Homo-oligomer: A and B are copies of this chain.
Amino acid sequence: MGISVVQRSKKTVPTDHADPLAMLFFARSIAVVGASRSDDSIGGRPIKYLLKYGYSGKIYPVAPKYDSISGLQCYASVRDIPGPVDLAILAVSAARIPGVIEDCAAKGVPTVVIFSSGFAELGEDGRQAQARLVQRAEQLGVRICGPNSMGTMNLRSGLTATFSAVLERTHRAGPIALVSQSGMYGAYILAQATALDLGLGLFATTGNEADIELSEVLEHVVRDSETRAVLAYVEQVRDGDAFVRAAETALEHDRPVVIIKVGRSDIGARTARSHTGAIVGSYDSYQAMFRQFGLISVDTIDDMLDIAKLLEFSIFPAGKRVGIISLSGGAAVMLADSCAASGLEVPTLSEEVQARLKRRVPFAGVANPIDATGQLFNDPEIFPEFLRALVDQEDTDVLVLFFGQMIGYVEGLGSIVVSESVKAARDSSKPFVMVAMPGDGRAAQMLKEGGIPHFTDPDRAIRAVAALANYRERREILLRRKQTGRKVALSAIPRAEVDTELGAKKFLAEHGIRVTREHLAQSPEEAVCHAETIGYPVVLKVNSPDIAHKTEVDAVRLDLHDASAVKRAFDEILRSVADRLPDAEVRGVLVQEMVSPGVELILGVKRDPVFGHMVLCGLGGIYAELLRDVALRRAPVDQETAAEMVRELRGYWLLEGARGREAADIDALIDTIVTLSNIAVGARDWIEELDINPLIALSRGRGCVVADALIQRISENGQ
């Protein structure tokens, strides 16, 4: 499935009109409960905005006090409304909400948006009230957006089920949807989009998410045929599975989702917790999920809106190769720098083309970036020639043009540059992006009509292009992987005794992961006997359910070469443990093969509170500590994903055997990751955390061996 071949219809109402989620954006009739004549109250604003934005459906103010508001007839209760009601906006106090929900159910209203605060955000009492509300609504079959939501909008149809004062100004409708867990910040993003002349279409703020939550809205919105892309402001995901479904649907429908996940720092996460009260999961898990499921992750709203600008112009670079033409050598350097930093390529033009351009302007830069120099002022005909050379170059996917302030400031040159650019863009299948300040005049209008977006800052332009080029590449990989990947049915793995190293490793070995050969000894003599069976040198370690970090209590002896060393080590280990942890239960001493040198890795499984079991792979030892050079994915991971995790490591070259080192058995490593991920899924009901540290990757063809492992079970009370 190609990425840019997306069918888009002109219809404004989705196929499945019975879907309660659809009512948030496509309701044909809206009741405003708690409607007010005061224009500036939360019960007055929705009516004001619905009228202002020309909503064509029915508006039913529910307000016992009034006969009419703004010429609309009022009703005492939702039950009294004559026609069907697709959506009810609830702008009454928290205490009155339960009663209104009963009314809505009686009237057959499928969906309500609750503006009212006074629920979970207030503490324990509020949480209980909210839980009761949701339970009752579920019985009654009414879906809730909120409470404490700022509402939803469809700027295309004028459905403005919101009290946000951002609608005091007029916002142009467009093909980009916005889903925000912060009402206020969502409105701010809308205001910024408008300042940048970007049009949003569907817009939802999900409030406390007592019922309808982010992922469900996301999944709904990416299915909308008139939505080209979605921006998402995320504080926390509540349902990992639903989130995955939404992401997969977006990928299938080729709707880029540009996501900002706030709370990346400790202080940010702490602030988010106090703000939402939710368990947010680890930021690393979120980033891993975004990568695994093809979402575009950004750190700032500037980045988000820059990408949105390209999407509004339907700029989908087919690849990562950029052709650059610039009026300024300095800008050419900056653009090239940005491409390199963003992982884009700037392919060199062919010798013939370079020679041809050089003949035209001897002091021009002609390699790509093309630096047309100020000569352009004297001889504007250079521009179409140079531009043509770049467009014709087969190995460029997207063109970036730098013209600084000239277009806006110098009428003559500006109109040549702009009209030639627009002409070239029209004749080419490659997208054009301009870095310039075209001002507000005719040049800007021509660029807009010609489908060429412009940015002021070169780096921002390139970052946005890179984000979409990456998205495209990523999407193709993930869709292909999904098609070719075998679906393995994973059966549940029963609980096992895994509370010592020996137990954990036996468990791993039983499920297909190679561990060190080892036996448990209860006496020095038995240890020697095992050592001779295994073959010297050996390793001795205490085996105890109470000692997670054996080296810290000096209970490990490596590289023992003979019987006397083994005996001595046995005694020393027991003495050391007795000294330092007299209460620890010691279940003997483990006699273990000493694995040949190889690359040390760590492998792990950790249960994320939101996304469930995540699998981790990283370089071992001080690397892990110093670099946090780890790759993370949600289990299960298939072969290709595991291979990707390994390649992602900055220390990958160590595994590849650079600089005279032997290459490690990367295939075996990948198999081990896949097997581990299957164990994680099979044992998800009882494994909290699993650490393999180290896993030793031997040289190619010799496999990987678990040298130590630790498994922590989910505690009995479920935590």
Q: Residues of A with Cβ closer than 8 Å to B?
A: 117, 121-123, 165-166, 168-169, 180-188, 191-192, 195, 233, 235, 262-268, 270-272, 274-276, 299-302, 327-334, 336-337, 339-341, 346, 362-363, 365, 367, 369, 371, 374, 404-406, 408-410, 437, 456-460, 551-552, 622-623, 625-627, 650-651, 653-654, 659-660
Output the least CB separation between A639 and chain B (Å).
26
Residue of B122, B299, B333, B627 touching A271 (CB-CB under 8 A): B333
Q: With A165-B409, A191-B405 given, can you name 10 additional A-B contacts, CB distance below 8 Å?
A: A168-B409, A182-B328, A182-B330, A262-B330, A262-B333, A263-B333, A265-B337, A274-B367, A299-B341, A626-B627
Report copies per complex: 2
Q: Who on chain B is nearest to A371 by CB?
A: B275
Q: Who on chain B is nearest to A195 by CB?
A: B437
Q: Who on chain B is nearest to A367 by CB?
A: B274
Question: Given that A184-B327, A330-B233, A660-B552 are known contacts, is A265 also in contact with B300, CB under 8 Å in the complex?
Answer: no
Q: Kindly list chain B residues whose C-beta atoms are within 8 Å of the C-beta of A374.
A: 117, 183-184
Q: Kindly list chain B residues whose C-beta atoms are within 8 Å of the C-beta of A187.
A: 404-405
Q: Kindly list chain B residues whose C-beta atoms are within 8 Å of the C-beta of A622.
A: 651, 654
Interface of A is mostly: helix
A620 to B267 Cα, complex, angstroms: 34
Contact A336 B267, beta carbon cutoff 8 Å: yes
Output the least CB separation between A126 and chain B (Å).
9
Residue of B188, B270, B340 touching A266 (CB-CB under 8 A): B340
Question: Given that A300-B460, A457-B300 are known contacts, is A188 also in contact with B332, CB under 8 Å in the complex?
Answer: no
Residue of B188, B191, B331 touching A184 (CB-CB under 8 A): B331
Contact A409 B330, beta carbon cutoff 8 Å: no
Contact A168 B334, beta carbon cutoff 8 Å: no
Q: Kindly list chain B residues whose C-beta atoms are within 8 Å of the C-beta of A264.
A: 337, 340-341
Q: Kindly list chain B residues whose C-beta atoms are within 8 Å of the C-beta of A625.
A: 659
A117 to B627 Cα, complex, angstroms: 50
Residue of B166, B330, B651 touching A626 (CB-CB under 8 A): B651
Output the least CB separation between A599 and chain B (Å).
10
Q: Who on chain B is nearest to A622 by CB?
A: B654
Contact A660 B168, beta carbon cutoff 8 Å: no
Q: Kindly list chain B residues whose C-beta atoms are within 8 Å of the C-beta of A405.
A: 166, 187-188, 191-192
Q: Kindly list chain B residues whose C-beta atoms are within 8 Å of the C-beta of A362.
A: 122-123
Output the least CB separation between A646 and chain B (Å).
15
Output the least CB separation between A313 and chain B (Å).
21
Q: Kindly list chain B residues whose C-beta atoms are within 8 Å of the C-beta of A331.
A: 182, 184-185, 188
Output the least CB separation between A600 and chain B (Å).
12
A577 to B328 Cα, complex, angstroms: 54
Give 25 CB contacts A-B under 8 Å. A165-B406, A165-B409, A184-B331, A185-B404, A187-B405, A191-B437, A195-B456, A262-B333, A262-B334, A267-B346, A270-B336, A270-B367, A271-B371, A275-B330, A275-B333, A275-B371, A276-B329, A299-B341, A299-B459, A300-B460, A301-B457, A551-B660, A622-B654, A625-B659, A627-B627
